[in-house]
Structure 1
C-alpha cells in the first residue's frame, strides 16, 4: 500500500512538472504572453552586460560635449550656425579630425543674425536709397549663417543626424532626407519586421547637400524604457535609411555599400546581419542591433565644445579621431536610461554603437535562438520532471544547483563569444520544478510526520518521529521479524510501597518515576512498548532499523540506574520511599508490528526472545543486580565490560543461556576484581571446589559481600558434600534448590 502511494505521488509531481514546462514552452512560441518572463529576460541581459562589460577608455571616438560650461560661455542653445561653422573649422583645420558627426538636427533656418530683417529693409529702401540696398547686399553673405555652416561642411567628412516619426497622424515633413542606403524591394518578401516610418524631421536641404551622409538617431527603448538596441535600418516609402552610427561607420570605412546578409537556411528567411565591406553587423528580426556598451558614462573621452572653440584641447586628443558632437546638458533632453546607467547621454550611445560596428563587438541574437530555447526547455522540463520526484531533498538540491550553474556558465561562455542566448526562461523552469518538488515533498512529508506522530508519538520521542519521516522506506506497521533488543524494568517490592502510600501520592510518585525512566529510554532511541503498573517494556530496532540497538539498550539501562539515584534523592526530600529496580535485556529475533484485535491495536513485539528478556528481569532480585543481560545482548554490544553471572536454564527452555551484569563503573579496581572473579568461576566449573572456595572467599573479603559471591559459596558448600552427576555442565536450573541436574 505504501509503495502504491509513493508511485502516485511521483506521478502527480511528474504531471505538475510537465504542466509547468508546457506553460513556458507556450510562452516561448508566442501562444502565451507571460510578461514577467520578458522582464526577467531583460534583467538577465542587463546583469550579464554589467558583469562582462570590457570597461576602459576607447579614445578612437571623442565626444565634443555641448555641456553646461559651454552654454554658460557661448550662450544658450541653439547656437548660431556661424559658431558651429567655427567649431567645424577648428576640428578639421586645427585638430585634423577624421570625421565629425552631429547628434543634432538642423531643421529650421538660422535667423539669429538679423539677415531677414535687413532683407525686409532692403526691399523697402531699394527705390529710395540704392546705396543702402547695396550695403545690405554687401553685408548679406557675412550674415547668412546657414550658408557659412554649409560652406564649412563642403568637402569634409561630416555626418548629420535626423529623426523619423511613426505617428501617422503627423503628415508634415521637415527638411530633406539623405539618399536611402537601399531600396525597400531589396528586402521585400522576407520575414523582416523592420520599422516603417510615417514621416521625418530632417536637416535643411542646404546643409544636407553638403554633408557626406546623414543617419537617423531614433531611440528604440524596450517596454521598461531602457535602451538596449538601435534600429540600424528604417524604411520610409520606397527607401531604407541607415542609423547615425551606421552612417558614421560607413564613412570611416570609405563610404562602403550596405548589403543585407541572409542565412543559407531554407527554414529561416529573415536577415541575420548587415555587411559593410568585410564587416558583419548582427541584427535581429527587426533589423535592430544590440548596443555593445563598454561601461558607464565616460567610456569615451569628453571635451567641452567651448574648449574646442577656443583651441584649449591638446592636439593629440582630437587628431585623426571620430568626433561626435552632442550634449550632456540636462536641459537639452538628450539623456537616456540604459542597462549600465539610469541616466546616460544619448551621444555616448551612438559612440558605443559605432565602436562596436568597427571593432566587431556587436553581439548577435539570431532568431534561431528561439528554437534552441524551445529545445532546451523541453529537455530540461522532461528530464527534471522525471528525476526530481525520485530524488531525496539533498541530491535534488545538488542536481538543481548543478543544472542552474551549468546554464549560467554556458550562457556566459556564449556571451563571451558574441552570442546572446535566452537565460531567464531556463533558470525559471529549473527553479520552478525544484520549488514544486520540494514544496510538494514538504507538505506531504509534514502530513506524513503528523500521521507518524499520531501512530508513534506515544512510543518514541519527537526526534525519532522526524527521522522516521525522513526514512519512510524503513517503516512498516505490518508484522515482520527483526533482530532487536527488548528491555523489561520492574520496581522491587512495589506492593509493599503502594500499601504505605495514599492513592494520590502513589500516582504522583509513579508519574515522576515513569517520566524519568521514559526520558532516558527516549534519549537512547528506545521505543516504549507499554507500562504495566510499575513495569516498563521497551525495545530497540523498530520502528526504525538501528544497527546499534543492543548497545543503545545497554547504555539506556545503565543510565536508568543512575537516573534512579537522582529520582530517589528527590523522593527523599518529599518524604517518599526510595525505589529499587531490576532491568532485564535480551537480544534476538522478534516479531514486531501492529498487533491486537479489531477493538484495539498496539505496536509491540512478540517471541521467545521477548519472553527471555522478561525472565531475566525477574532474576535481578535473586542475583541482587540492577541489570542482567543475556549472552546474545553481550555479543551484540561488545564495547561494554560485563561480569558473567551464571549459566542458567530458565523455565520452559531446554537450551542454557549465559547471563551477565554490565559493569557500572569501569576502572582499574573493577578490572582487577573481574579478573579474579573469572578465575574463581573457572575453578568452580572445573569442580575444583577447594580452590574455588578460597577464590570466592578472597573476593568476598576484598570487595565486599556481593550477592553473587555468596551464591557461589553456597553452591560450592553444597557440591563439596554432594558431588554433582558425572554429566554436570555447570548449568543452574531454576526450579531446583541448588542447581542440581
Structure 2
C-alpha cells in the first residue's frame, strides 16, 4: 500500500495549525454571536416581565432575578473585546453615513428646550399664563395637539410619559378672557380636558409608555394608540436597536376608570384575577371579587362581566407613528421567519425585519442637530401659533400639513429629557430614536445584519486566505498584502452600509479570521523553519561548504522525496591504503615478537598502531573533503578509504561537470602537496632515528605516502535523503551514472583522473581550454555495462595552469594548521 502523498507529508503540520486557528476563530465568532443573542433574549425577558407585572406577590423578585441574569450577560459581553470592536466599527460606519443628504419631509419634531421651559415659566410662551413643562397637561400639550391637528398633521406621538393622575390640576381657574373665549368656562380639570383632547376627531394621538410606566387609564382609553418608548442598550450602554413590540398586560382600563370615578382602589390578590376593592378614604375593603372561568368579574355592573386583565401588543413608538401615517393595521401582524408583515387596507405593506427576541437595528441617520434633514419647531412657537389662531383670528402658515410629528424635549435635567449614548454621539437625545425608526418604516429601508452563519463563513474565508498567503509569501510583501486585504474588507463593509444599509461584520473576520491566522501562521512558520534549518544544518554541515548550506536554507524545506537531477559524481580512492595496513600489521607483529611483550602490552601496542593508520587515512580524506567543499560540492559519504561526492544537487549548478573536474585536479594536487610535506617529515625522522639507534632506542616509524585514483561521470540521477525524518542517514544520489563513476574510479589506477564521455562533453561546452587537455583513452569494459565505455583522462599536472585562469585552487592556498 502506498503512503500519503508527499504534499500531505510535507504540509500536514501546516494544515493542522491552520485548522486549529480556524477552529479558534470560528469558535470565537460563534460564541460572540451566541452571547449577543443570549443578552438580547435576556433583556427581552426582563422587558416582558415588567410589561406583564400587575402588582402580584413575587413579580418584583422575578424581575430582579431576570435583571441580575441580564446584567451578568452584559458583563460577559464587556469582556468580549472583538464584540466591542464590532460595535465600535458599526458606530464608525453610522457616523460616516449620518446626514447622507436625503431629507425626510414626512416627519418632524416639536421640541421643548431650555428656552421653552423659561418661556413657559415666565408667561412668554402663553401670555399671562405660567406653567411647568409637564404640568398642567392641557394648557401645554392639549393646545399643542389642537394646533397641530389644525395644521393638518397625519399623526402625533408624545415622547412624554403620563403615568400619574394630577389631582391638583383638577381646579384650574383662568381669568384670561381669551381662555374663556376658547373653552367657554373659567375652571377646567386639566387631565380630564387633556383626555378629551386626545379623543377628539382628527390626527391620531399616540402616547409613550415604558413597561413599568403606563399612562393612566383616562388617557389610555382616549388616545388612538400607545407606543413603547423604551431604549434598550447594548452591553457598552449604546442604543443601537429597539424592541419592535411588547406584549403588555394590565388591569382592564374600564375597571380602573370605574373605580377612579367612585374613589376606589383596585388590588390584585392572585394571578387568576381576584380583585380587592378598597375605599380610598377609609382604606377599608368594600368587596373581594373572584373571576369566573373566563377571568371576568361583575364590577361595573352585576349583569355585565368585564375581563380583569387587558392584554395588547404595544409597538414601538416610531413604528406606531409610521403605521398611522401609512394606514398599517397594527392589530393584525403576520409573523414569519425573519420578521413581521404589517398591511394596510389601501394595499400598502411593510416587512419589518426583527430577530428572535423581537429586536430591530436602527438606521441612525437623523440627529436632533440636523435641522436640514427634517422639520423642527420649538414648542413655544406652536403655542404661539395656537394663540394667534384662537385669540387673534389669524391663520398661521401651516408647517405641519400631512406630516408625522414627535413631541419631545431636549431641556436640561434628567426628568426633562431622555439622553444616552447612540452610535452618533456618546450623549445624544434619544427622541431621535422615534424619528429614525419612523423614517425606516416610511421609506421601507431597514438596516440588515449578516446572519451568524454568514459571519462564521466570512471568518473562515479570510482565515483560509490568510493561511494560504502566509504559506506562499515572504518578506515585506506578506504584511502589505494582508494590510491591503484588510483595507479592502473595511472598504467593502463601509460601502455596503452606505449604499445598502447592510451590516457586514468587521471585527471577527479581520481580527479572528485575518490577523489571527496571519500572526499564528507566521509564528508557526518561524518555529517550523527554525527547526527545519536546524535539521538541514545537521544533514549538510559536514557535507557541503557553509555558503551552500545557506542556499539550501533559503530554499526552505528538504524532504525525503526523490527527484531527478543532472549531476556529476566524483569517486576518489586512496591508493596504497591496503598495502600500508598490511605492512603496519606485519611490523607491529614482528615488534611484539622481538620485544617479548606481554598480552596486555601487545594489545596496547596494536591499538597505538591502529590509531596511527587511522590518523594517516583521515589526514588524506580530510584534504580531499576540504577540496570538495571548497569547490561547492556535496560530500556524500566515506566508503572505507574512498570518498564519494557530487555537484548539481541540492543546489542547481549548470557547470557541475567543470566544477567537479576542477575539484578532482585540486584533490590530486592537494594529495601531492600532502605527500611532499610527509616526505619532508620522513627526512627529519631518518636523521632522528640515526641518533636513536646510536642510543639503543627503537627507531620511529616513517610516514606512509599514498596517492589518489579518481573517477567522474555525469548524467541524470535520483537525488534525495536516505532514511527517515527521525533518522536521516545522508543526502545521496544513485543510479546508472553513479555506478559508472565508481567503475571509472576502480579503473583509474594511481594518481589518475578518468572521466566519462558525458562529463567530457559538458567540459567541452563550458571550458573548451580544459577539455583540450583531456586525452581520449581506448574504450574499456566496465562491470555491469554491456558495451565498452568511452573514457578520457585528465592530465592534472598539466591542467593546473589552465584551471587557474578561470577558477581558484585550494591546493595553492596556505594550509590550515
- TM-score, normalised by the number of residues in structure 1: 0.54
Indicate whether 1:55 and 2:100 are aligned: yes
Indicate whether 1:645 and 2:779 are aligned: no
Q: Retained in 2: the 8 A contact 1:159–1:247?
A: no
Indicate whether 1:353 and 2:437 are aligned: yes
Deviation at residue 7 of structure 1 after TM alignment: 7.5
For 1:276-316, what per-residue CA distance to the aligned partner results, in whole angstroms no more than 9, with x for missing partners? 55222222222332222226664543635266247699957
Indicate whether 1:305 and 2:378 are aligned: yes
C-alpha distance in 2, partners of 1:18/1:275? 45
* Counterpart among 398, 404, 409 of residue 327 in structure 1: 409
Aligned position for 2:232: 220
Aligned position for 2:550: 463
Q: Retained in 2: the 8 A contact 1:452–1:469?
A: no
Q: Retained in 2: the 8 A contact 1:484–1:549?
A: no
C-alpha distance in 2, partners of 1:39/1:395? 32
Instruction: Describe the SS at the equivalent of 1:201.
Output: coil
Q: Retained in 2: the 8 A contact 1:586–1:629?
A: yes
Aligned-pair Cα RMSD in Å = 6.4
C-alpha distance in 1, partners of 2:718/2:330? 91
* Counterpart among 281, 284, 296 of residue 355 in structure 2: 284
1:47-86 equivalences under 5 Å are 55-60=100-105, 61-75=107-121, 77-78=133-134, 81=137, 82-86=139-143
C-alpha distance in 1, partners of 2:102/2:459? 43
Q: Retained in 2: the 8 A contact 1:235–1:241?
A: yes
Deviation at residue 360 of structure 1 after TM alignment: 0.8
Deviation at residue 207 of structure 1 after TM alignment: 4.5
1:137-152 equivalences under 5 Å are 141=186, 145-146=190-191, 149=194
Indicate whether 1:159 and 2:230 are aligned: no
Relative to structure 1, the CA distance from residue 309 to residue 468 in structure 2 (aligned partners, 3 Å threshold; closer, same or farther) is same
Relative to structure 1, the CA distance from residue 610 to residue 102 in structure 2 (aligned partners, 3 Å threshold; closer, same or farther) is farther
Relative to structure 1, the CA distance from residue 380 to residue 403 in structure 2 (aligned partners, 3 Å threshold; closer, same or farther) is farther
Aligned position for 2:648: 541
Aligned position for 1:240: 313
Relative to structure 1, the CA distance from residue 610 to residue 307 in structure 2 (aligned partners, 3 Å threshold; closer, same or farther) is farther
Deviation at residue 349 of structure 1 after TM alignment: 1.0
* Counterpart among 389, 398, 423 of residue 339 in structure 1: 423
For 1:354-380, what per-residue CA distance to the aligned partner results, in whole angstroms no more than 9, with x for missing partners? 0111111124569xx56x559x75996
Q: Retained in 2: the 8 A contact 1:550–1:637?
A: no
C-alpha distance in 2, partners of 1:378/1:47? 20
Aligned position for 1:655: 790
1:110-125 equivalences under 5 Å are 115=171
C-alpha distance in 2, partners of 1:225/1:633? 84
C-alpha distance in 2, partners of 1:665/1:588? 24
* Counterpart among 632, 645, 659 of residue 759 in structure 2: 632
Q: Retained in 2: the 8 A contact 1:540–1:550?
A: yes
Instruction: Describe the SS at the equivalent of 1:279.
Output: strand
Q: Retained in 2: the 8 A contact 1:484–1:590?
A: yes
Deviation at residue 271 of structure 1 after TM alignment: 6.0
Q: Retained in 1: the 8 A contact 2:458–2:509?
A: no
Deviation at residue 603 of structure 1 after TM alignment: 5.4
Relative to structure 1, the CA distance from residue 389 to residue 208 in structure 2 (aligned partners, 3 Å threshold; closer, same or farther) is closer
Q: Retained in 2: the 8 A contact 1:49–1:339?
A: yes
Question: Which piece of structure 1 moves more, 106-115 or 285-294?
Answer: 106-115
Aligned position for 1:444: 528
1:165-180 equivalences under 5 Å are 165=211
For 1:513-536, what per-residue CA distance to the aligned partner results, in whole angstroms no more than 9, with x for missing partners? 99x9999867xxx657799xxxx9
Instruction: Describe the SS at the equivalent of 2:567.
Output: strand
Q: Retained in 2: the 8 A contact 1:62–1:303?
A: yes
Where structure 2 has 5 or more consecutive residues not aligned to the other structure, the ranges are 39-75, 122-131, 175-179, 250-310, 387-395, 573-622, 667-710, 781-788, 808-817
Q: Retained in 1: the 8 A contact 2:170–2:191?
A: no
Aligned position for 1:99: 155
1:573-652 equivalences under 5 Å are 587-588=714-715, 609=741, 632=759, 635=762, 645-649=772-776
Question: Which piece of structure 1 moves more, 640-649 or 281-290?
Answer: 640-649
Deviation at residue 351 of structure 1 after TM alignment: 0.4
C-alpha distance in 1, partners of 2:655/2:428? 71
Aligned position for 1:688: none
- TM-score, normalised by the number of residues in structure 2: 0.50
Instruction: Describe the SS at the equivalent of 1:241.
Output: strand
C-alpha distance in 2, partners of 1:230/1:650? 98
C-alpha distance in 2, partners of 1:468/1:92? 82
Relative to structure 1, the CA distance from residue 451 to residue 201 in structure 2 (aligned partners, 3 Å threshold; closer, same or farther) is same
Relative to structure 1, the CA distance from residue 230 to residue 636 in structure 2 (aligned partners, 3 Å threshold; closer, same or farther) is farther
